[in-house]
Amino acid sequence: MKTVASIEEWNELTTNENVIALFTAGWCPDCRVIEPVMPGIEEKYPQYTFLKVNRDQFIDLCSENEIFGIPSFLAFQEGKEIGRFVSKDRKTKEEIITFIDGLPR
């Protein structure tokens, strides 16, 4: 999973690629719980570029995208948001897969 390093990188990737972004933070225990399952999920969906966005580093980006709880996911295609799985609740592997499977193709 690629870690976003700048707003410019975020803008480029979400505009030019099919992206699933995971908003997370090092102090978030629910985020740590899903870390071990994410490589398998990434492998299952090679049509997406998976991004890790540090909530503390990109608080303005979180605010712009109405990310007020983590872990949360946003999906983009051709520069447009196509789905969101946003809440403060813990996410399971099954819930993440259901979210991705439900995205428009």
Domains defined for the chain, CATH in brackets: 2-101 (3.40.30.10)
What's the rounded Cα separation, in Å, for the pair 79 and 24?
Answer: 21
pTM over 0.75: yes
Which of 1-23 are b and which e, b meaning 16 or more Cβ less than 10 Å from the residue's Cβ?
Answer: eeebeeeeebeebbeeebbbbbb
92 token code pair:
């399971």
pLDDT tens-digit profile, the chain (105 residues): 999 999 999 999 999 999 999 999 999 999 999 999 999 999 999 999 999 999 999 999 999 999 989 999 999 998 999 999 997 788 999 999 999 999 998
Number of C-beta neighbours around residue 104 at 10 A: 7
